[in-house]
Structure 1
Amino acid sequence: MKFISAVTAAVLAVASITTHAQQPAAGHYPARPITIIVPFAPGGGIDVLVRAMAPKLTERWKQPIVVENKAGAGSNIGTSQVARAPADGYTLLATVNQTMVGNRFLYKNLPYDPDKSFEPVTMMVKADQLIVANSKLPANTLKEVVALAHKEPGKLNYGSFGNGSQPHLLFSVINDREKTDLTHIPYNGITPNLTALAAGDVQLGAASAGVIAPLVQSGKIKPIAVAGDARAPQYPNVSTTTEQGFPYAKVSIWYGLFAPAGTPPEIVKEIRAAVHDVLSDPKFVEQQVTARGLNVVAGDGRQLREAIAKESEVTAAMIKAAGVVAE
């Protein structure tokens, strides 16, 4: 009986150790390198921000932060990889609202559930998009674009990052509300879209202030409206769509951080605290956030989940207006 009791005690001890290893306590986190998956090609806004944050997080945690780009299928490849990862805080997802909001309407068989596959950690930063035009377009405001579209029906077009992307939905709503017929030209990503805009292959588009800055400085494109309620600090003379009489024409982009569903709350809390600590550094914010036309949000998981739900309702209406059908 004593032998059996000893064996049983040993088995229970091993089970206890195994369970502890599967669910590490926040006090021991992280104990090894952390991988942050960015489901887009290198060089995009969120990729740049996360790579700038990585050394700061390494300094806090004394563990390497590995940033991996897993682009493809509208961000679905990298995102689904994180959804399948162990819920231990060592594989995280850094992505934009398109992944959690727009994609649910664009794909019939989404390889992850935007509402159930992840634990929202924090919305890091946010920015209203700007409506931009090729510099040669004889219109300097959205109001003038609409007037030109009515005067020359069928002659103006706009580029987007693809069907169902924010520029596509934005201009579709403008077409619907203003009875214009701006033609949609989809591109495979923001870089070819803006390249076409700068070359004059398309006349209109939408992107964040930080992304368009080089092309604006080169004189190839010009901002004509901020698609939101507040003017962009980089372009104080560019009025908002609300000021111009188009209060419905609003789109913004945010960068969020997510962990696989089931990640222990104490680990999620530690990740959030570390990210917020980086985003509270004035020098970092000035160089990596404000300079790129973004604003710090640093919210909690509940705020991010609520933002996704609210934005999904608005996007559903825009998808309907655009006539986009899930693939």
Structure 2
Amino acid sequence: MRPLRLVTSLVAMVAAASAAGAQGPTPAVSWYPARPTQGSLIRLAVTWPEISGLDGTLAGERLHFERDSTGAFHAVGAVPVDADSSVTGNLWTDGGPDSARIAVPIAARRSRSESLRLGREYTEPPDSALAARIAAERREIGQAFARAHDGPRLWSLWFSPPRRAPITSDFGTRRVLNGATRSRHLGLDYDGNVGEPVRATNRGVVLLVGDFFYNGKCVYISHGAGLMTAYLHMSAVQVSVGDTVVRGQAIGAVGATGRVTGPHLHWSVHYGGITVDPMSLLSLRPLPSFDAEAPDDPRIW
């Protein structure tokens, strides 16, 4: 297992101050990658003498810190896909007045374009009944995202892909639908035939099961501490809301439901309300408070 490389932030990027104006111990803040790409997950580590607990936010989303045996605090955070040159965050001590502000420099994401042909019902403005359905489905999804921070971290192993299959469309690809640029692809598409298994990428709880206009038959799994994965366009769903699933468990089957051009699985990853590249989740090493298996452990398949 390769060692995790954490790069210490510049002193100028961390400003510590107390509510009373007195200067307390200065935190040492680091993150990996040193310059994360737009739309990706990052690991943060904080060493802050003389504190018992730590809370914080990054890009407006809560950070869930855990303390390791050395006293350092670790958390996962997310960089929005539309972030500019940096994202900012705030840290504050548990039960104390000290706080700190951080700024993480961001690298631009390179993306390509792809052209798709879809039925007019998926590209033209919907009628009032369909518009109401779409709005209601988006509210359901938004409510699921809002609950992503409710529980503690449920995973202790590396995340694994939902399928062992070729990726046919990358995260961030600009979609040209029927000749007009309309959207950015915020997930990974995996090739597949109808009925082939789709597997949970890690331990979690099923928060939402739907059969939606755009997403088709879909499952949203909360992995705790802000992380959520979604599995779209399936032909069948094999889990229910409230079920606890484990890494590698079959949760459904590849399909062609919703807005699609053919059978495939769309897999997306979310940290709170921020959608990120699933590849950054697959390379995310488990936090140091757990012992982890290698990401290619064959026992899960």
Q: Shorter-chain TM-score category?
A: under 0.3
* Structure with the bigger percentage of helix: 1
* Structure with the bigger percentage of strand: 2
Specify which structure has the bigger relative contact order, considering alpha-carbon pairs within 8 angstroms and separated by 6 or more residues.
1
Greater CA radius of gyration, 1 or 2?
1
